[in-house]
Every structure is written in structure tokens, then in C-alpha cells.
Structure 1
């Protein structure tokens, strides 16, 4: 199982939100590039970036710091948040980002996902964020009428090869991941599922490996010191 340290960027800073709420935000670093270097030095194989301003506004906001991170580290980087056009996808893939994550577009503009997958294959990842099993969009401000599993199956049929599945209720709460929801998603799909939200202990990582997920994103727990990345990577490998 691959572990993805998360760097959430808001106004050029490295921050964490609680349950996706922009009113409940903690700034952990003014230097996201240094943070990415730190996770790489600690053994990260892949880094997960989120443009929070982008997720909220629907357009790319922190592209300067994001492309700088991609150029500075030697490990692959995936990015989500406000990516809603082919031009933006191409810009990031041309500027060092290994994989682009489409979230809101999966619900609101499936044609974009289809076009992107046809052109870029496995470099296109779909992020599905769920509230009580229903897919949420627009920086989690809005819940759709489609279930997370239904949306994932639709994306799989379109040729998407990786899904990032986030349980919003667990995100930033340090209360453990929704293991049942992750297992349900894995059981319905043949493509890779990356778990996101709530990982707060090494035991959580062990539980997630049992669900069959391909990877797990770790955010807040790394910044609070609840989890040491070196230990986490060892557990994931074991």
C-alpha cells in the first residue's frame, strides 16, 4: 500500500481543514515547498497536493507554488482542486505534475473526464468525496443525488483507473478512517482505490491494508505528530 502525505494549499500556505470547513483551518507552514521536501526526505514515494482555493473557486489559484513543488521534489506528485478544463489539465501535466485529480467535474461534467482519460489515460484520477455515502462537490459545499459507489462505477466504465475516496465526516477529525465504506468501494470496483480521511494512528493503516485499497492519504495526523511518516511507511510495507 502506498502512503500519500497530503499538502493542502490555501493562499500559498500549507494548511489543514476539519471536515472540509474553510472556517476551521489551521496553518501548519508558510512554505509548502519545504514541506514537500521534508516528506520526500522521510521516504514518501508519492505526494498528494490540494489547491483548496481552487476547489472553492473552480479555477486554479496556487499554480505557482504547486509547479515549484513538482520541480523541486524527485517523487511523483498528484494534484486536485479546481481543475475543470482540458487547458488546466494540460498545463499541470506539462509542468511536472504526474497525475491530475478531477472531483466536481466527475459529477457535473463527465464529458471532461471522458475526454481527459482518452487523452491522458492513467494520469487522470477521479476524487470522490462522500457525505453519508452520497457524492459531494464544489469544495464539499454541495451534496449530489448520486451515491459514491454509483459515481465510481460510472467513472470505471469511462476508463478511469484510480479513484480517491474521501469520507468527509472523517476528514481532519483524527478519529480513524471509515473502513467499511472503503471496503465497500473496493469490493464494487476492479480499479485502484486510494483511501482518504481520518487516518490518525498506525493501527488505522493496518486496518486499511485489510480493505484492499491501493493507497492511503495521510494529512492532519502527520502535522499534529500523531503519526511519524517513517513509521507509517514501515507499517504499510509490512
Structure 2
């Protein structure tokens, strides 16, 4: 899935626009324009993967930014992978998106509520499911980071690997969007618990954060606010871990 460590730009969408939230809280968003334009910008900067999230879908359980997703898919060439999450609740919907050209679907709430959905989709599209484990205070949370589950991220990751997940996306909500740096301990725990790729997200503020997450065992890192705010460029981050 990842031939080498990747720095993946986030294209989080709300009301048809790119936004970034602080700790996943609605009302904290800062807007960054058109998703397709953002996608083209990151591709021009050398992105090999784009990370798309329908935030309205994540909060409300129904995909609301489908037109924006379609526009991004239309702007992306065959050389750039697209992983999409937010509001994907059924296997049929996930398979339809994969058939449409999405490379990986990201399942959070659906995977927690119905774990077998991971196997069902994987049987149709091998290594296409990225299970999103978003953690707040060391507990997996769902429904747009608003509901606790009682699940330990590392234990949950191992279970989803058994069910056929192709990768784990771990977001540390405690530091998400704050530009105050990352915490590597939970990433290390998850990377040690599974053999599939672990993609880290949350808190990246510097090129050094990108580097230490690689050392912690991540196969890739998703970066949002730091890139949009110009803390560093995608090229600088990529060169630092080459």
C-alpha cells in the first residue's frame, strides 16, 4: 500500500469547502477554499495520496459532500491514490465508491458498530479498507469524535487486521488541529500490535513531527492545518523523510 513513508495532505470537507477543525469540534473550523483546487495544489506539490474526509458525513452519518468528492476524483490522475472517509455506513456504499475510483475507504463508526463490514468489503476489494481509530484520552471515539466506545486503540487495531483491514488510520484527537506537536506513544503501540500499515494523524506542527512519527513505526502521516497554514511545505516534509 505504501512503498515508502508518505506525507499525505488532508482535504477535509464541510459544506463543500476545505476546512480544518480543532480537536474535531464543530464551530472551530477555518476554511481553505475549494476541495478540487486544494487537490490540484497538493498533486502539483508531489502528493502521492490524498486524504478526503466528508466531515458532514462523519457527524451526521450521511455523506453530504459527494459533489465535492466527485470534483476531486475528476481532478486526480491515475498516479495519485485517494482515500475517503466520513459517512460511509454500508458495505454496498463502500464498494460503490471503490468501483468509482476511490482507492481506499475509511471506516470509523461503521467498523465499530458492525465489525464484519470490514471483511465483507475486503472480500470484494482486497486491502481497500482503512479502519479509522480516533482516540480521545486513550479511548476510541466515533460519530465525529463525539461518542466513546470503551475500546483500546491497539487492541482494536489487531482485531480489525484479523477481519481483513488493509491499514489503520490513527488520529489522536487530543492534539488534532492544535499545531502543538504529536504524541508518539500511541502510534508505537498500534504499530507493534499489527503488521499492516499504520497511518498517523493529529497534531503535526513541524517537519520534526513528521520525522518522529516515521520513527514511531507509522507508514504514513496525514497533515492538514500545518500545510494549509504554511508551517512547512509538502516538499520540505517529503524531503525530510526521504
Alignment of 1:146-157 (within 5 A): 146-157=151-162
User: In the alignment, which residue of structure 1 is the partner of 2:99?
Assistant: 94
Shift of 1:87: 2.3
Q: Secondary structure at the match of 2:88?
A: coil
Higher share of residues assigned strand: 1
Alpha-carbon distance between aligned partners in 1 of 2:41 and 2:170, rounded to the nearest angstrom = 25
**Structure 1 residue corresponding to 2:20, chosen from 16, 20, 29:** 16
Structure 2's unaligned 5+ residue stretches are none
Tell me the C-alpha RMSD between the 2 structures: 1.0
Alpha-carbon distance between aligned partners in 2 of 1:207 and 1:90, rounded to the nearest angstrom = 35
Alpha-carbon distance between aligned partners in 2 of 1:236 and 1:48, rounded to the nearest angstrom = 19
Contact 1:60 1:88 in 2 (8 A): no
User: In the alignment, which residue of structure 1 is the partner of 2:55?
Assistant: 52
Shift of 1:116: 1.0
Number of residue pairs matched by the alignment: 236
Structure 1's unaligned 5+ residue stretches are none
Alpha-carbon distance between aligned partners in 2 of 1:187 and 1:132, rounded to the nearest angstrom = 20
* Segments ≥4 residues shifted beyond 6 Å: none
User: In the alignment, which residue of structure 2 is the partner of 1:6?
Assistant: 10
User: In the alignment, which residue of structure 1 is the partner of 2:189?
Assistant: 184
- TM-score, normalised relative to structure 2: 0.95
Alpha-carbon distance between aligned partners in 1 of 2:172 and 2:74, rounded to the nearest angstrom = 31
Alpha-carbon distance between aligned partners in 1 of 2:139 and 2:39, rounded to the nearest angstrom = 32
- TM-score, normalised relative to structure 1: 0.96
- CA deviations 1:195-227 (Å, max 9, x no partner) are 010111011111111112100000000011112
Alpha-carbon distance between aligned partners in 2 of 1:90 and 1:136, rounded to the nearest angstrom = 24
